[in-house]
Amino acid sequence: MLKYGLLVIVVIFFAINMGASGVAPSFAAAYGGKLIKKKTALYIFGVFVVIGAVILGRNVAMTLGKGLIPKELITLEAVLVILSSATSSLFLANMLKIPQSTSQVTVGAIVGVGMHFQHLNTKTLFYKILPMWILLPLASYVLTLILYRLIYPPKHDNLHIYQTMFANEKKLKRSALIASCYVAFAIGTNNVANAVGPIYGAGILDIRLGLLCIAPLFGLGAWLMGGKLLETVGREIVPLGKASGTLVSFVTATLLIFASFLGIPQSLVQLNLASIFAISSVKDGHRHTLDQHLTKKTFIVWAITPVLSVAIAYLLSGLFLKR
């Protein structure tokens, strides 16, 4: 009974941290463009995460529940190790005010447990998950770069685009807010499974029930811890206007939903920041963007936390899990 109580605490803490990390890439564009108040963004985020989880959260949960290590090895104790390791790594990133991939720290934790048991589905990891972790952020950057260059800077060839935007200011604002909701929906389709997958793998909770119960905790996390991260992404890297913010949101959310269909646990945070870096590169140049302190800090945290998650899970497995 004590273990189940501990599991509930860990799941709640993990989901809250994921919500805190996810609200920034969802509403940074709208908030950075001053289209929505911070409190309103946090509330709407929670609603659309739940909708996305219920509609399309199953595929990724299946991958995390039985696609990386044999289902019979995912015991209650193993779930505690996985979620505790992932939560520790994610909490560190949140404290540094850097949005981090919940998917990567979760996969890292599962890999750590798999290494302990010496049973790891390397085909799924190396031929399915890892390639997409490289290709999709790259696609986010390149697509945003190409599309944004069509409208920025203003020149003779694209003046008609600006005339259309100025003539439809209200529609543009509405589109930016819809795009933010679209991103929150995408998070629900993919990231809620990070907590649900291991629990499903252990046979503790049905996938659909797990998604429905855990998704609302993302909204709670956004309220408690997401405000500072929203400020970091929305206004400190590069100010996003309505057009650029809408572009960032639609590119990253579409790529994440694509990953969800494939059952790939994918980082929306990295898709989103790759897209924002593309906007910054067009406006300020590649060198200026890469030389920013925040950019360097972001890449360092991205590199360290998944490895830290693997290490913590492997060490905890040695202490608490029997082979």
Mean pLDDT across 283-307: 71
Look-up of token digits 């608490």: 320
Q: Which residue, among 21, 15, 102, 104, has the nearest Cα to 68 in the 3D structure?
A: 104
**Is residue 10 predicted with pLDDT exceeding 80?**
yes
If one counts every other C-beta atom within 10 angstroms of the C-beta of residue 285, the result is: 11
**Is residue 293 predicted with pLDDT exceeding 70?**
no
**Is residue 186 predicted with pLDDT exceeding 80?**
yes
Which ranges constitute the DSSP H helices of the chain?
A: 2-32, 38-56, 58-62, 76-95, 102-117, 122-124, 130-149, 159-167, 169-190, 193-201, 207-231, 242-262, 268-284, 286-291, 293-320
Q: pTM value?
A: 0.88
Q: Identify the domain containing residue 148 by its residue range.
A: 2-320
Q: Are 195 and 11 in contact (CB under 8 A)?
A: yes
Total structural domains within the chain: 1
pLDDT in tens, 104-137: 989 999 999 999 999 999 999 999 999 999 999 9
pLDDT in tens, 72-96: 899 999 999 999 998 887 777 667 6
